[in-house]
Structure 1
């Protein structure tokens, strides 16, 4: 990918690109135009994607053998056939209605903000069940993803800038750690730091007997229980961020505008962060947006290994129980989070990348 050549500041490059000594195209004076055509096209694309995802979300669970009521009847054989049919009607899988009618009813409920009820959780509203699990996943996986992105991106930029130095040893080390199966890395961390050293608890989100409340004691328990899984996530994902940023830095450093900036006597720190890293980070933005979107889905393996409550384990339990409403609710939240993250990434691209702004012109 060809790096985006940033416009030099006014005091460094008054005039066109040739007088500034770069190969950049001449920038138009004045305020940058908002790329409405680009943003409108992306909005239409994401609306279509949302419709397709919701449609697949509706039909896919119904292709599975059995349903949540069958699972419930297998555990409770004293339920009458009338009660079973009432449960199916309540869950939106009434056999008296065609699949098309069920699909229309599903859309009608969604437009009213009703995700249905979860049979697995005693007919509690799906939105309530998800809202209780969502903060745990977003808090843990979100924090770990952001920290991993920042450390990997900054570290990759420095390693790329100092190419050929001893800092290059960080790349194979972090890449090797990223290739280790996550569940094995988590079990190893538990064996070393929880069982042997007893520095951290084995699992759960907080201590036994504690009730969730906004107090210093409870917050300390959450941090103590979440440190080990968070560090494990950071270690497992750090290599990808660092390697990607380092490779983009090597490409950007060969561009003419970097050579010109250095020839003009600019400080290395300014060339590194204002010109080289600023261009090299653009591909990282899209990957980071996808990672932010998938945070809502959580890391099922992490939540299973550390017995951590979250959306990932919730989805696994709903799948095993064939709880259609809960499955659809979790998938919908994950889909929306991924789409919103990509929209934000596209908006960031539109204002950071001049070539994107030129698509409207």
Structure 2
């Protein structure tokens, strides 16, 4: 029980720190976001102080006392009020995010699960066949591919499969089908999401491959492995049933950590394919200097990654009882 209470405390403390930084960072930036927004709206160099003050109040900067403003900010978050989007005025930020969040969660979720399964299997097989041609090919190839940029990979995939071959749609989340839980719409969504998912899948399994391979090689040198081999157990059972099982524990922990890397990489990928997710929304908010929307996207992303890490920490205590008993 102490293990779970400690992990819950760490999660709440980290979440509070993320919320606090999300409040402070925009206020530490030079310039006044309210003046920028009024200038863009009016198209004039001179701004009306009354308009600036109204925008400041809308953004949550109305009170000069930072502690009072911070308390009001916490109350707004508790009520689910993240302000009004400047880009999609007068819609609230929460409505804008809820419209884009399912697209990103679907794309990232499926990609992350597939990357975990493929990377873990390839890494385990490479460790089992260590020092072989397959192991060398996987290790060197993963290191090379891991240094490539997702945006550059996406442009090649877009050119080949969308423009040259014409197998998949180039941009968008769906075409001219009517949205709903019907097969034509689902198939249309899958076809539009295939190229963005393929772009992310090129580099997403790399961390799992290298991590699983290196950890399993260390496990294969353990005393319990030599004892199992001395007992006459088949090499395949020893490698996959014993070494791979123990090597899988750190890989499960890295599942949540790699989720943040994948989400950050999806921002450019979604903009490249004009995919209606959080990445494209972040690009629009940055271009229009939509500070409430940018803050909300950052907070939502951090919360998703922290929640995933928290769930994995709880599951780690179930998978490995030693974690609960360690001091």
| TM-score, normalising length: structure 2 | 0.90
Query: Aligned match of 1:206 in 146, 158, 174?
Result: 174
2:11 maps to what in 1?
Answer: 46
Q: 1:298–1:128: structure 2 CA closer, same or farther, 3 Å change rule?
A: farther
**How many Å apart are 1:265 and its aligned residue?**
2.9
Alpha-carbon contact 1:117-1:123 (below 8 Å) kept: yes
2:21 maps to what in 1?
Answer: 56
**How many Å apart are 1:63 and its aligned residue?**
2.2
- Tell whether 2:86 aligns with 1:119: yes
Alpha-carbon contact 2:120-2:209 (below 8 Å) kept: yes
1:263 maps to what in 2?
Answer: 230
**How many Å apart are 1:321 and its aligned residue?**
2.7
| Larger RCO: 1 or 2 (CA < 8 Å, sep 6+) | 1
Following the alignment from structure 2 to structure 1, what is the Cα–Cα distance between the partners of residues 38 and 112?
38
- Aligned-residue RMSD, C-alpha: 2.2
- Tell whether 2:211 aligns with 1:244: yes
* Partner-residue secondary structure (3-state), 1:118: coil
Q: 1:299–1:282: structure 2 CA closer, same or farther, 3 Å change rule?
A: same
Structure 2 spans left out of the alignment, 5+ residues: none
1:292 maps to what in 2?
Answer: 259
**How many Å apart are 1:257 and its aligned residue?**
1.1
Q: 1:151–1:68: structure 2 CA closer, same or farther, 3 Å change rule?
A: farther
- Tell whether 2:36 aligns with 1:70: yes
Number of residue pairs matched?
Answer: 323
Following the alignment from structure 2 to structure 1, what is the Cα–Cα distance between the partners of residues 82 and 110?
28
1:316 maps to what in 2?
Answer: 283
**How many Å apart are 1:129 and its aligned residue?**
0.7
* Partner-residue secondary structure (3-state), 2:241: helix
- Larger mean CA deviation between 221-230 and 316-325 belongs to 316-325
- Tell whether 2:88 aligns with 1:88: no
**How many Å apart are 1:118 and its aligned residue?**
1.1
- Please list the CA deviations of residues 175-207 of structure 1 after superposition, one character each: whole Å capped at 9, or x if unmatched: 322222211111111111111111112221112
1:332 maps to what in 2?
Answer: 299
Structure with more of its chain in helix, by fraction: 2
Alpha-carbon contact 2:100-2:276 (below 8 Å) kept: yes
Task: Specify the structure having the higher radius of gyration (Cα).
Answer: 1
Alpha-carbon contact 2:220-2:239 (below 8 Å) kept: no
- Tell whether 2:152 aligns with 1:184: yes
Following the alignment from structure 1 to structure 2, what is the Cα–Cα distance between the partners of residues 107 and 325?
14
- Larger mean CA deviation between 298-307 and 75-84 belongs to 75-84
Q: 1:68–1:212: structure 2 CA closer, same or farther, 3 Å change rule?
A: farther
Counterparts of residues 205-224 of structure 1 (less than 5 Å)? 205-207=173-175, 209-224=176-191
1:130 maps to what in 2?
Answer: 97
1:6 maps to what in 2?
Answer: none
- Larger mean CA deviation between 318-327 and 106-115 belongs to 318-327
**How many Å apart are 1:300 and its aligned residue?**
1.1
Query: Aligned match of 2:116 in 149, 168, 173?
Result: 149
Q: 1:163–1:298: structure 2 CA closer, same or farther, 3 Å change rule?
A: closer
Alpha-carbon contact 2:204-2:262 (below 8 Å) kept: no
Counterparts of residues 100-115 of structure 1 (less than 5 Å)? 100-115=67-82
- Larger mean CA deviation between 228-237 and 66-75 belongs to 66-75
Following the alignment from structure 1 to structure 2, what is the Cα–Cα distance between the partners of residues 267 and 224?
44
- Please list the CA deviations of residues 21-45 of structure 1 after superposition, one character each: whole Å capped at 9, or x if unmatched: xxxxxxxxxxxxxxx2222222222
Q: 1:222–1:68: structure 2 CA closer, same or farther, 3 Å change rule?
A: farther
Following the alignment from structure 2 to structure 1, what is the Cα–Cα distance between the partners of residues 58 and 37?
16
